[in-house]
Amino acid sequence: MRGILVVVACSLVLPACRGTPTASPANEAGPSASVRLLFGGDVMLGRGLAPVARDDPSSVFEGLAMQLRAADVAVANLESPLTRRPHAVDNPNALEAAPRAARLLAAAGFDAMTVANNHAGDAGTDTVTDTVSALADADLRAIGRTPRAVVIERGGVSMALLAFDASAGSSGHGSVARWRPDRARAAVRLGAARSDVVAVSLHGGLDYNPAPDAYLGAIARRLARWGADVVWCHGPHVVQPVRVIDPDRDGRRTIVATSLGNLVFDEQGIPGTDGGAVLEVRADASGVSAFRVGATTIDVGRVAFDRWLSPEGDAVFADGSWWAPVRPFPHVPMVATPDRLPTYPGDGWVVTDAAVGDVNGDGRAEVVVSFRWPFSPSWQTRTLPRHRWADRNGMKSVIGIYDGDTLAPVWVSSSILHPVDRVVPCGSGLVVGYSTLNDPAVVATGFWPWHGYGFTSSIDLSGAGMPGCVDVDGDGILDPVVTGRSPS
Protein backbone atom coordinates (compact mmCIF):
# COMPACT_ATOMS: atom_id res chain seq x y z
CA MET A 1 0.00 0.00 0.00
CA ARG A 2 1.13 3.58 -0.56
CA GLY A 3 0.92 5.87 2.42
CA ILE A 4 0.83 9.63 2.59
CA LEU A 5 3.24 11.69 4.66
CA VAL A 6 1.36 14.65 6.05
CA VAL A 7 4.26 17.01 6.76
CA VAL A 8 5.12 20.67 6.42
CA ALA A 9 8.16 21.95 4.56
CA CYS A 10 11.16 22.74 6.75
CA SER A 11 11.06 26.47 6.11
CA LEU A 12 7.47 26.62 7.35
CA VAL A 13 8.16 24.75 10.57
CA LEU A 14 11.56 25.81 11.83
CA PRO A 15 13.27 29.12 11.18
CA ALA A 16 16.58 27.47 12.09
CA CYS A 17 16.42 24.91 9.26
CA ARG A 18 19.02 24.96 6.50
CA GLY A 19 17.97 27.11 3.60
CA THR A 20 19.68 25.05 0.91
CA PRO A 21 18.28 21.65 -0.13
CA THR A 22 20.56 18.72 0.48
CA ALA A 23 21.71 16.86 -2.61
CA SER A 24 21.49 13.08 -2.88
CA PRO A 25 24.62 11.93 -4.70
CA ALA A 26 25.17 8.30 -5.65
CA ASN A 27 27.01 6.17 -3.17
CA GLU A 28 30.70 6.66 -3.80
CA ALA A 29 31.51 3.00 -3.24
CA GLY A 30 29.36 1.99 -6.20
CA PRO A 31 27.34 -1.21 -6.41
CA SER A 32 28.76 -4.56 -7.43
CA ALA A 33 27.71 -6.00 -10.79
CA SER A 34 23.99 -6.65 -10.62
CA VAL A 35 21.34 -7.01 -13.31
CA ARG A 36 17.57 -7.08 -13.51
CA LEU A 37 15.72 -9.69 -15.56
CA LEU A 38 12.02 -9.30 -16.32
CA PHE A 39 9.83 -12.23 -17.39
CA GLY A 40 6.33 -12.06 -18.84
CA GLY A 41 3.66 -14.61 -19.73
CA ASP A 42 1.85 -15.26 -23.00
CA VAL A 43 2.09 -12.69 -25.78
CA MET A 44 -0.42 -13.17 -28.62
CA LEU A 45 -0.44 -10.60 -31.43
CA GLY A 46 -2.69 -12.39 -33.93
CA ARG A 47 -6.42 -13.06 -34.12
CA GLY A 48 -8.28 -10.26 -32.26
CA LEU A 49 -5.08 -8.31 -31.65
CA ALA A 50 -3.97 -8.26 -35.29
CA PRO A 51 -5.75 -4.95 -36.12
CA VAL A 52 -4.19 -3.22 -33.08
CA ALA A 53 -0.73 -4.59 -33.86
CA ARG A 54 -1.11 -3.42 -37.46
CA ASP A 55 -2.73 -0.01 -37.02
CA ASP A 56 -1.45 1.15 -33.64
CA PRO A 57 1.58 -1.02 -32.81
CA SER A 58 3.24 1.35 -30.34
CA SER A 59 0.16 1.28 -28.10
CA VAL A 60 0.25 -2.47 -27.40
CA PHE A 61 3.04 -2.24 -24.79
CA GLU A 62 3.03 1.50 -24.17
CA GLY A 63 1.68 0.99 -20.65
CA LEU A 64 4.47 -1.46 -19.79
CA ALA A 65 7.36 -0.02 -21.79
CA MET A 66 8.93 1.75 -18.81
CA GLN A 67 9.28 -1.52 -16.90
CA LEU A 68 10.51 -3.43 -19.95
CA ARG A 69 13.18 -0.87 -20.80
CA ALA A 70 14.34 -0.49 -17.20
CA ALA A 71 15.23 -4.18 -17.05
CA ASP A 72 18.60 -5.34 -18.37
CA VAL A 73 16.90 -8.28 -20.07
CA ALA A 74 13.17 -8.60 -20.80
CA VAL A 75 11.66 -11.77 -22.21
CA ALA A 76 8.18 -13.29 -22.64
CA ASN A 77 6.52 -16.24 -24.36
CA LEU A 78 5.50 -15.62 -27.98
CA GLU A 79 2.21 -17.54 -28.29
CA SER A 80 1.52 -16.34 -31.84
CA PRO A 81 3.83 -17.66 -34.57
CA LEU A 82 5.15 -14.92 -36.88
CA THR A 83 4.40 -16.16 -40.37
CA ARG A 84 2.41 -15.48 -43.52
CA ARG A 85 1.56 -19.15 -43.95
CA PRO A 86 -2.09 -20.21 -43.53
CA HIS A 87 -3.28 -21.96 -40.38
CA ALA A 88 -2.66 -25.68 -40.87
CA VAL A 89 -3.52 -27.64 -37.70
CA ASP A 90 -6.94 -29.07 -36.95
CA ASN A 91 -8.10 -26.61 -34.26
CA PRO A 92 -9.99 -23.30 -34.36
CA ASN A 93 -7.34 -21.30 -32.44
CA ALA A 94 -5.49 -19.62 -35.29
CA LEU A 95 -3.08 -17.34 -33.43
CA GLU A 96 -0.59 -16.55 -36.20
CA ALA A 97 0.58 -12.94 -36.44
CA ALA A 98 2.30 -10.93 -39.15
CA PRO A 99 6.13 -11.14 -39.12
CA ARG A 100 6.29 -7.33 -38.78
CA ALA A 101 4.96 -7.74 -35.23
CA ALA A 102 8.54 -8.61 -34.21
CA ARG A 103 9.48 -4.95 -34.62
CA LEU A 104 6.68 -4.05 -32.23
CA LEU A 105 8.22 -6.33 -29.59
CA ALA A 106 11.71 -4.92 -30.07
CA ALA A 107 10.48 -1.34 -29.89
CA ALA A 108 8.65 -2.12 -26.64
CA GLY A 109 11.87 -3.17 -24.94
CA PHE A 110 12.02 -6.95 -25.23
CA ASP A 111 15.39 -8.59 -25.74
CA ALA A 112 14.24 -12.15 -26.43
CA MET A 113 11.11 -14.28 -26.84
CA THR A 114 10.51 -17.96 -26.18
CA VAL A 115 9.07 -20.02 -29.04
CA ALA A 116 8.69 -23.39 -27.30
CA ASN A 117 4.92 -23.68 -26.94
CA ASN A 118 1.94 -25.61 -28.27
CA HIS A 119 1.21 -23.11 -31.07
CA ALA A 120 4.74 -23.00 -32.48
CA GLY A 121 3.91 -25.05 -35.58
CA ASP A 122 0.29 -24.06 -36.20
CA ALA A 123 1.01 -23.08 -39.80
CA GLY A 124 3.06 -26.15 -40.65
CA THR A 125 6.53 -27.48 -40.09
CA ASP A 126 8.25 -24.31 -41.34
CA THR A 127 6.34 -22.00 -39.00
CA VAL A 128 9.09 -21.92 -36.39
CA THR A 129 11.69 -21.05 -39.00
CA ASP A 130 9.55 -18.10 -40.06
CA THR A 131 9.15 -16.96 -36.43
CA VAL A 132 12.84 -17.21 -35.60
CA SER A 133 13.73 -15.35 -38.80
CA ALA A 134 11.27 -12.52 -38.03
CA LEU A 135 12.66 -12.19 -34.50
CA ALA A 136 16.24 -12.13 -35.78
CA ASP A 137 15.37 -9.39 -38.27
CA ALA A 138 14.21 -7.30 -35.30
CA ASP A 139 17.39 -8.12 -33.35
CA LEU A 140 15.51 -10.35 -30.88
CA ARG A 141 16.84 -13.67 -29.61
CA ALA A 142 14.65 -16.75 -29.99
CA ILE A 143 14.72 -19.13 -27.01
CA GLY A 144 13.54 -22.75 -27.19
CA ARG A 145 14.11 -23.60 -30.84
CA THR A 146 16.50 -26.21 -29.46
CA PRO A 147 17.26 -27.38 -25.91
CA ARG A 148 20.51 -25.42 -26.00
CA ALA A 149 20.65 -22.32 -23.81
CA VAL A 150 20.76 -18.83 -25.25
CA VAL A 151 23.38 -16.92 -23.25
CA ILE A 152 23.03 -13.17 -22.77
CA GLU A 153 25.56 -11.08 -20.86
CA ARG A 154 24.85 -7.74 -19.24
CA GLY A 155 27.08 -5.79 -16.90
CA GLY A 156 29.46 -8.68 -16.39
CA VAL A 157 26.67 -11.12 -15.45
CA SER A 158 25.97 -14.02 -17.83
CA MET A 159 22.47 -15.47 -18.08
CA ALA A 160 21.58 -18.82 -19.66
CA LEU A 161 17.99 -18.80 -20.94
CA LEU A 162 16.23 -22.04 -21.89
CA ALA A 163 12.65 -22.91 -22.90
CA PHE A 164 10.71 -26.16 -23.18
CA ASP A 165 7.24 -26.98 -24.44
CA ALA A 166 5.63 -29.17 -21.75
CA SER A 167 2.09 -28.98 -23.13
CA ALA A 168 -0.05 -31.84 -24.39
CA GLY A 169 -1.07 -32.08 -28.05
CA SER A 170 1.48 -29.51 -29.20
CA SER A 171 1.71 -28.53 -32.86
CA GLY A 172 5.39 -27.76 -32.37
CA HIS A 173 6.63 -31.36 -32.18
CA GLY A 174 10.07 -31.68 -33.72
CA SER A 175 10.40 -27.96 -34.40
CA VAL A 176 10.94 -26.64 -30.84
CA ALA A 177 12.49 -27.96 -27.65
CA ARG A 178 10.01 -30.35 -26.07
CA TRP A 179 10.18 -31.27 -22.38
CA ARG A 180 12.35 -34.37 -22.16
CA PRO A 181 13.97 -34.81 -18.74
CA ASP A 182 17.25 -36.27 -20.00
CA ARG A 183 17.87 -33.52 -22.54
CA ALA A 184 16.66 -30.80 -20.20
CA ARG A 185 18.92 -32.00 -17.40
CA ALA A 186 21.98 -31.92 -19.66
CA ALA A 187 21.10 -28.47 -21.02
CA VAL A 188 20.44 -26.94 -17.61
CA ARG A 189 23.59 -28.36 -16.07
CA LEU A 190 25.66 -27.12 -19.00
CA GLY A 191 24.06 -23.68 -18.66
CA ALA A 192 24.77 -23.62 -14.93
CA ALA A 193 28.40 -24.56 -15.52
CA ARG A 194 28.92 -21.80 -18.07
CA SER A 195 26.73 -18.96 -16.74
CA ASP A 196 26.04 -17.06 -13.53
CA VAL A 197 22.24 -17.39 -13.72
CA VAL A 198 19.99 -20.02 -15.32
CA ALA A 199 16.36 -19.22 -16.16
CA VAL A 200 14.09 -21.86 -17.67
CA SER A 201 10.76 -21.28 -19.40
CA LEU A 202 8.02 -23.94 -19.40
CA HIS A 203 4.83 -23.85 -21.44
CA GLY A 204 1.96 -26.09 -20.39
CA GLY A 205 -0.28 -26.76 -17.43
CA LEU A 206 -4.02 -26.81 -16.84
CA ASP A 207 -5.92 -23.96 -18.50
CA TYR A 208 -7.56 -21.28 -16.33
CA ASN A 209 -6.43 -22.82 -13.03
CA PRO A 210 -5.44 -20.11 -10.48
CA ALA A 211 -3.83 -22.60 -8.07
CA PRO A 212 -0.15 -23.53 -8.46
CA ASP A 213 0.04 -26.07 -11.27
CA ALA A 214 1.13 -29.41 -9.79
CA TYR A 215 2.56 -30.72 -13.06
CA LEU A 216 4.68 -27.67 -13.76
CA GLY A 217 5.62 -27.46 -10.09
CA ALA A 218 7.00 -31.01 -10.19
CA ILE A 219 9.09 -30.16 -13.25
CA ALA A 220 10.31 -26.99 -11.54
CA ARG A 221 11.60 -28.99 -8.59
CA ARG A 222 13.64 -31.13 -10.98
CA LEU A 223 15.01 -28.08 -12.73
CA ALA A 224 15.95 -26.52 -9.38
CA ARG A 225 17.96 -29.60 -8.42
CA TRP A 226 19.76 -29.45 -11.76
CA GLY A 227 20.78 -25.81 -11.32
CA ALA A 228 17.94 -23.53 -12.47
CA ASP A 229 17.70 -20.24 -10.57
CA VAL A 230 14.38 -19.17 -12.11
CA VAL A 231 11.57 -21.30 -13.53
CA TRP A 232 8.85 -19.20 -15.12
CA CYS A 233 5.84 -20.75 -16.77
CA HIS A 234 2.90 -19.84 -18.97
CA GLY A 235 0.01 -21.60 -20.62
CA PRO A 236 -2.84 -21.61 -18.06
CA HIS A 237 -3.72 -18.01 -19.14
CA VAL A 238 -4.26 -16.93 -15.51
CA VAL A 239 -1.80 -15.89 -12.81
CA GLN A 240 -0.66 -18.38 -10.19
CA PRO A 241 1.37 -17.65 -7.01
CA VAL A 242 5.15 -17.24 -7.15
CA ARG A 243 7.16 -19.36 -4.73
CA VAL A 244 10.77 -19.87 -3.64
CA ILE A 245 12.01 -23.45 -3.29
CA ASP A 246 15.23 -25.27 -2.40
CA PRO A 247 14.49 -28.96 -2.99
CA ASP A 248 18.06 -30.18 -2.60
CA ARG A 249 18.68 -27.92 0.44
CA ASP A 250 21.96 -26.63 -0.97
CA GLY A 251 21.18 -23.04 0.05
CA ARG A 252 20.80 -21.79 -3.53
CA ARG A 253 17.10 -21.09 -3.85
CA THR A 254 14.98 -21.14 -7.00
CA ILE A 255 12.12 -18.78 -7.87
CA VAL A 256 9.17 -20.64 -9.38
CA ALA A 257 6.26 -18.98 -11.18
CA THR A 258 4.00 -21.77 -12.44
CA SER A 259 1.97 -19.27 -14.48
CA LEU A 260 2.39 -15.57 -15.20
CA GLY A 261 -0.88 -15.53 -17.13
CA ASN A 262 -1.55 -13.43 -20.22
CA LEU A 263 0.79 -10.53 -20.80
CA VAL A 264 -1.21 -9.46 -23.82
CA PHE A 265 -4.01 -11.47 -25.45
CA ASP A 266 -7.35 -10.89 -27.09
CA GLU A 267 -10.64 -11.30 -25.22
CA GLN A 268 -11.06 -14.85 -23.86
CA GLY A 269 -14.12 -14.16 -21.71
CA ILE A 270 -12.87 -16.17 -18.72
CA PRO A 271 -12.14 -14.67 -15.28
CA GLY A 272 -8.46 -13.90 -14.79
CA THR A 273 -7.52 -13.86 -18.47
CA ASP A 274 -7.74 -10.08 -18.79
CA GLY A 275 -4.50 -9.54 -16.92
CA GLY A 276 -1.24 -11.11 -15.92
CA ALA A 277 1.96 -10.61 -14.00
CA VAL A 278 5.58 -9.82 -14.65
CA LEU A 279 8.34 -11.38 -12.59
CA GLU A 280 11.47 -9.29 -12.13
CA VAL A 281 14.59 -10.67 -10.48
CA ARG A 282 17.85 -9.11 -9.36
CA ALA A 283 20.89 -11.25 -10.02
CA ASP A 284 24.67 -11.11 -9.83
CA ALA A 285 27.56 -13.52 -10.30
CA SER A 286 26.31 -15.56 -7.33
CA GLY A 287 22.80 -16.03 -8.71
CA VAL A 288 19.47 -14.47 -7.87
CA SER A 289 19.31 -12.19 -4.82
CA ALA A 290 15.70 -10.87 -4.83
CA PHE A 291 12.50 -10.72 -6.83
CA ARG A 292 9.29 -8.74 -7.16
CA VAL A 293 6.01 -9.37 -8.94
CA GLY A 294 4.09 -6.73 -10.86
CA ALA A 295 0.40 -6.85 -11.77
CA THR A 296 -0.67 -6.01 -15.32
CA THR A 297 -4.01 -5.54 -17.03
CA ILE A 298 -5.19 -5.88 -20.64
CA ASP A 299 -7.65 -3.44 -22.16
CA VAL A 300 -8.68 -3.64 -25.83
CA GLY A 301 -5.47 -5.36 -26.88
CA ARG A 302 -3.15 -3.15 -24.86
CA VAL A 303 -1.26 -4.07 -21.71
CA ALA A 304 -0.77 -1.67 -18.81
CA PHE A 305 1.37 -1.97 -15.71
CA ASP A 306 -0.69 -1.70 -12.54
CA ARG A 307 1.65 -1.89 -9.54
CA TRP A 308 4.41 -3.85 -7.84
CA LEU A 309 2.88 -6.23 -5.31
CA SER A 310 4.11 -6.23 -1.72
CA PRO A 311 6.24 -9.21 -0.65
CA GLU A 312 4.58 -11.63 1.76
CA GLY A 313 7.58 -12.12 4.04
CA ASP A 314 10.83 -10.23 4.64
CA ALA A 315 11.38 -7.30 2.28
CA VAL A 316 14.25 -5.20 0.93
CA PHE A 317 13.75 -1.84 -0.76
CA ALA A 318 15.30 -1.07 -4.16
CA ASP A 319 14.35 0.60 -7.45
CA GLY A 320 11.28 2.27 -6.01
CA SER A 321 9.56 -0.72 -4.42
CA TRP A 322 9.89 -3.60 -1.98
CA TRP A 323 11.47 -6.86 -3.18
CA ALA A 324 11.39 -10.33 -1.63
CA PRO A 325 14.94 -11.44 -0.77
CA VAL A 326 15.95 -14.87 -2.04
CA ARG A 327 19.20 -15.28 -0.14
CA PRO A 328 19.41 -15.29 3.65
CA PHE A 329 20.81 -12.10 5.12
CA PRO A 330 21.61 -11.02 8.70
CA HIS A 331 18.40 -10.25 10.59
CA VAL A 332 20.23 -7.74 12.75
CA PRO A 333 19.31 -4.12 11.96
CA MET A 334 22.45 -1.99 11.69
CA VAL A 335 21.23 0.96 13.79
CA ALA A 336 23.38 3.31 15.86
CA THR A 337 21.95 5.00 18.96
CA PRO A 338 22.87 8.68 19.39
CA ASP A 339 25.19 9.62 22.26
CA ARG A 340 23.17 12.76 22.88
CA LEU A 341 19.84 14.18 21.79
CA PRO A 342 19.10 17.64 20.43
CA THR A 343 17.68 20.30 22.72
CA TYR A 344 15.07 21.39 20.17
CA PRO A 345 12.20 21.19 20.87
CA GLY A 346 13.28 19.48 24.10
CA ASP A 347 10.96 20.49 26.94
CA GLY A 348 7.63 18.76 26.64
CA TRP A 349 8.58 16.07 24.17
CA VAL A 350 8.40 12.31 24.73
CA VAL A 351 11.02 10.50 22.65
CA THR A 352 9.86 7.12 21.27
CA ASP A 353 12.97 6.24 19.24
CA ALA A 354 16.25 7.78 18.05
CA ALA A 355 18.94 6.63 15.64
CA VAL A 356 22.01 7.86 13.76
CA GLY A 357 22.57 7.53 10.01
CA ASP A 358 22.74 9.28 6.65
CA VAL A 359 19.12 10.14 5.87
CA ASN A 360 19.54 12.64 3.06
CA GLY A 361 22.43 11.12 1.12
CA ASP A 362 24.93 13.91 1.81
CA GLY A 363 27.53 11.50 3.16
CA ARG A 364 27.19 12.78 6.73
CA ALA A 365 25.33 11.26 9.65
CA GLU A 366 22.17 12.81 11.01
CA VAL A 367 20.30 12.15 14.24
CA VAL A 368 16.71 11.07 13.67
CA VAL A 369 14.21 11.31 16.50
CA SER A 370 10.61 10.16 16.61
CA PHE A 371 8.72 11.79 19.44
CA ARG A 372 5.37 12.90 20.76
CA TRP A 373 4.61 16.61 21.15
CA PRO A 374 1.60 18.45 22.59
CA PHE A 375 -1.10 18.67 19.94
CA SER A 376 -2.58 21.94 18.76
CA PRO A 377 -4.86 22.41 15.74
CA SER A 378 -3.27 23.66 12.51
CA TRP A 379 -4.26 24.20 8.88
CA GLN A 380 -2.90 20.74 8.23
CA THR A 381 -4.98 18.92 10.83
CA ARG A 382 -8.07 20.87 9.81
CA THR A 383 -7.85 19.31 6.33
CA LEU A 384 -8.73 15.96 7.95
CA PRO A 385 -11.05 17.00 10.79
CA ARG A 386 -12.27 13.46 11.47
CA HIS A 387 -8.79 12.00 11.83
CA ARG A 388 -7.57 11.42 15.34
CA TRP A 389 -4.27 13.26 15.67
CA ALA A 390 -3.62 13.10 19.45
CA ASP A 391 -3.18 10.18 21.82
CA ARG A 392 -4.90 9.88 25.20
CA ASN A 393 -2.37 12.32 26.66
CA GLY A 394 -3.02 14.96 24.02
CA MET A 395 0.25 14.28 22.18
CA LYS A 396 0.83 14.04 18.41
CA SER A 397 3.48 12.05 16.50
CA VAL A 398 6.45 14.00 15.06
CA ILE A 399 9.73 13.17 13.26
CA GLY A 400 12.84 15.36 13.51
CA ILE A 401 16.11 15.25 11.54
CA TYR A 402 19.11 16.96 13.17
CA ASP A 403 22.70 17.64 12.16
CA GLY A 404 24.94 14.87 13.48
CA ASP A 405 27.59 17.26 14.77
CA THR A 406 25.75 20.38 15.93
CA LEU A 407 22.31 18.80 16.51
CA ALA A 408 20.80 21.81 14.75
CA PRO A 409 17.41 21.07 13.16
CA VAL A 410 17.61 19.99 9.51
CA TRP A 411 13.98 19.05 9.00
CA VAL A 412 11.08 18.58 11.41
CA SER A 413 7.64 17.40 10.44
CA SER A 414 4.32 18.71 11.52
CA SER A 415 1.80 16.09 12.66
CA ILE A 416 2.38 12.60 11.22
CA LEU A 417 -0.78 11.08 9.81
CA HIS A 418 0.19 7.56 10.93
CA PRO A 419 2.16 7.53 14.22
CA VAL A 420 5.78 6.39 13.97
CA ASP A 421 7.56 4.78 16.92
CA ARG A 422 10.52 3.17 15.15
CA VAL A 423 13.08 4.96 12.90
CA VAL A 424 16.09 3.61 11.02
CA PRO A 425 18.11 5.94 8.71
CA CYS A 426 19.16 4.02 5.61
CA GLY A 427 19.81 4.39 1.90
CA SER A 428 19.09 8.12 1.55
CA GLY A 429 15.85 7.76 3.41
CA LEU A 430 14.16 6.50 6.52
CA VAL A 431 12.75 3.06 7.35
CA VAL A 432 9.89 3.45 9.80
CA GLY A 433 7.70 1.33 12.02
CA TYR A 434 4.15 2.58 12.34
CA SER A 435 2.23 2.21 15.58
CA THR A 436 -1.12 3.31 16.87
CA LEU A 437 -1.57 6.42 18.98
CA ASN A 438 -1.85 4.58 22.28
CA ASP A 439 0.19 1.43 21.65
CA PRO A 440 3.90 1.47 20.61
CA ALA A 441 3.75 -1.97 18.97
CA VAL A 442 4.64 -1.89 15.26
CA VAL A 443 1.58 -2.57 13.10
CA ALA A 444 3.02 -1.63 9.69
CA THR A 445 6.30 -0.49 8.16
CA GLY A 446 7.49 1.72 5.32
CA PHE A 447 10.34 3.52 3.62
CA TRP A 448 10.43 7.30 3.24
CA PRO A 449 12.80 8.30 0.39
CA TRP A 450 14.52 11.65 0.86
CA HIS A 451 14.20 14.12 -1.98
CA GLY A 452 15.65 17.61 -1.79
CA TYR A 453 13.78 19.48 0.95
CA GLY A 454 12.14 16.48 2.58
CA PHE A 455 10.57 13.08 2.10
CA THR A 456 8.48 11.93 -0.83
CA SER A 457 5.38 9.76 -0.40
CA SER A 458 6.02 6.67 1.67
CA ILE A 459 6.09 3.14 0.27
CA ASP A 460 4.45 1.05 2.98
CA LEU A 461 4.03 -2.59 3.95
CA SER A 462 1.09 -3.85 5.95
CA GLY A 463 1.62 -6.00 9.01
CA ALA A 464 4.16 -6.08 11.79
CA GLY A 465 7.88 -6.23 11.09
CA MET A 466 11.25 -4.92 12.24
CA PRO A 467 12.67 -1.95 10.26
CA GLY A 468 16.37 -2.27 9.65
CA CYS A 469 19.33 -1.40 7.47
CA VAL A 470 21.73 -4.09 6.32
CA ASP A 471 23.91 -4.90 3.33
CA VAL A 472 21.67 -7.54 1.76
CA ASP A 473 23.73 -8.36 -1.34
CA GLY A 474 27.24 -7.77 -0.05
CA ASP A 475 27.96 -4.81 -2.33
CA GLY A 476 29.01 -2.51 0.51
CA ILE A 477 25.83 -0.43 0.27
CA LEU A 478 23.27 -0.51 3.07
CA ASP A 479 19.75 -1.47 2.07
CA PRO A 480 16.44 -0.66 3.78
CA VAL A 481 14.89 -3.90 5.02
CA VAL A 482 11.95 -5.14 7.03
CA THR A 483 12.47 -8.48 8.75
CA GLY A 484 10.30 -10.76 10.83
CA ARG A 485 7.27 -10.42 8.54
CA SER A 486 5.01 -13.45 8.38
CA PRO A 487 3.82 -14.63 4.95
CA SER A 488 0.07 -14.29 4.52
Question: pLDDT digit string (tens) for 180-231?
Answer: 999 999 999 999 999 999 999 999 999 999 999 999 999 999 999 999 999 9
Give the three-class secondary structure for 357: strand
The pLDDT value recorded for residue 245 is: 97
Q: How far is CA 124 from the centre of its chain?
A: 38
Report yes or no: 174 and 211 within 8 Å, Cβ to Cβ. no
Higher pLDDT, 429 or 172: 429
Report yes or no: 30 and 74 within 8 Å, Cβ to Cβ. no
In the predicted model, is pLDDT for residue 488 greater than 70? Answer: no
Strands 254-257 vs 350-357: parallel, antiparallel or unpaired? unpaired
Using only the alpha carbons of the chain, give its radius of gyration: 26
pLDDT by residue (tens digit) across 20-71? Answer: 223 333 333 344 578 999 999 999 999 999 999 999 999 999 999 999 999 9
Spell out the residues 6+ positions from residue 377 whose beta carbon is closer than 8 angstroms to its own: none
In the predicted model, is pLDDT for residue 279 greater than 70? Answer: yes
What is the number of H-type helices and E-type strands within the chain? Answer: 8, 27
State the pLDDT confidence band at 402, using cuts at 50, 70 and 90. very high
Q: Which stretch of DSSP H or E encloses residue 166?
A: none
What type of residue sits at position 289? S
The pLDDT value recorded for residue 173 is: 55
How is the chain split into domains, by residue range? 10-29+332-483, 35-284+287-325
The pLDDT value recorded for residue 171 is: 53
Mean pLDDT of all residues belonging to the chain: 89
Residues of the chain with pLDDT > 70, as a percent, come to 91
CATH 3.60.21.10, domain 35-284+287-325, yes or no: yes
Average pLDDT score over residue span 160-166: 97
Spell out the residues 6+ positions from residue 94 whose beta carbon is closer than 8 angstroms to its own: 46, 47, 87, 122
The pLDDT value recorded for residue 81 is: 96
pLDDT by residue (tens digit) across 324-353? Answer: 999 887 765 667 889 999 999 988 999 999
In the predicted model, is pLDDT for residue 248 greater than 90? Answer: yes
What is d(CA 201, CA 199) in angstroms, rounded to the nearest whole number?
7
Strands 454-455 vs 439-451: parallel, antiparallel or unpaired? antiparallel
State the pLDDT confidence band at 363, using cuts at 50, 70 and 90. confident
